[in-house]
Structure formats: structure tokens, C-alpha cells
Amino acid sequence: MVHIPTRLEIEKAVSRPIDAAKIPELHPSLRWRCVEHLNEARAAKVPFVIVQGNRSAEGQKIEYAKGRRVVGTDPAKWEPIFQNERGIVTHALPWQSWHQYGLAYDVALLLSDGTHVHWNEVVDLDKDGQRDWVEVIEIGESLGLEAGYRWPGKKHDGAHFDFRPNLSIAEAWTLCMGDRKIPDGYFEAIA
């Protein structure tokens, strides 16, 4: 049985009220991991915020368009604006991203002012000798999350965390036919 974090547990874990609304949209198997991820990172003095959680197909199409020249209605034919693909946010078309299934969230590190965020992967603002981003990644991985930071080449996505043990995108699509939601106890049933 998965622990479903209460509203109070979620509110205590987040640094910004806006993040509290993003967590309940996640699949229950990811939701409690996200809350623990937030809590453990704050305890390690490297707090982060949730910048993206569950995403609609239209939202994914908007993210996919970033950094691309929109030509026609077929996103698969859109071309990078820059030759080195700088500015491209995602390589996943709608329903090819774990965000559509409530199985992913993206983060940014919170600066000590408690207001501003950053995605700098090499800073050590807490001065403990370890890059802050690496600390957040290791905490996430200790909770069973996959870190997009470890993805090779152009798929590298330092801000991305997902939970999808032994599930492919094709299987997620099949599971979600109709209501677009993976059953709450799915991952516990296959464990």
C-alpha cells in the first residue's frame, strides 16, 4: 500500500505554495517520493522547487515547440531553430513524455533568498564540497527515481525526475487508454 501524503505533509514539504498544487497531480507512487525528495533535500540544505509536474498533451506540445521552428501541424516535422539544438526543451512529443502520465516532475534549485531559482549544475551554495545538483540527484535516486541528469547526449535533462519501474511509454499509453490515468496501485501490483 502506497502512502498518500496528506495536504499538510505536502504543504510542509514545499518551499512555495504554488508547488503544493502540483504534487497531488502526480501518480500516488511518485507523489510520496516527491514529498520525501523535497524534505530530504531541504534537510541537506539544498532545497528545490517543482517547476513542472503533470502535463497535458497540449502542454507537452507547447514545451516541444520551444527551440523549434513550427512548420505545419505535425510536431514531428518541426525543425530546431539553432543548429546545435540550443533552446530545445524536450525531445518528447505528446504522450511520449512521462509527464503526461503523472510519473515525472521537473525541478529547479532554490536560492538562499527563498524566491529565485537556478539550474546551475556545478554550484555548491551550501559549501559542503558537493555540487548541489548532484546532492538533489542522489537523494532522488535513493528514493527510486530516475534522474534525467544521467541521460546521455541530447536527451540529458538535469531538471527531470521520474518513477516508472519496468514500464515503457507504449505500455503506459495502453494502460491509459480512455481515462489517461495509470491505475493507482499499478506499481505495487507488479512489485
- Report all structural domains of the chain as residue ranges with CATH numbers, in order of start: 7-52+98-168+183-190 (3.30.1380.10)
Tell me which of 154 and 176 has the higher pLDDT.
176
Q: Rounded to the nearest 10 degrees, how much is the dihedral formed by the CA atoms of 82, 88, 94, 98? A: 150
pLDDT in tens, 45-65: 998 999 999 998 899 988 888
Reported pTM: 0.87
The most confident of 3-12, 30-39, 83-92, 157-166, by mean pLDDT: 30-39
Q: What is the mean pLDDT of residues 92-111?
A: 91
Q: Rounded to the nearest 10 degrees, how much is the dihedral formed by the CA atoms of 82, 86, 87, 88? A: 90
* pLDDT score of 163 more than 90: yes
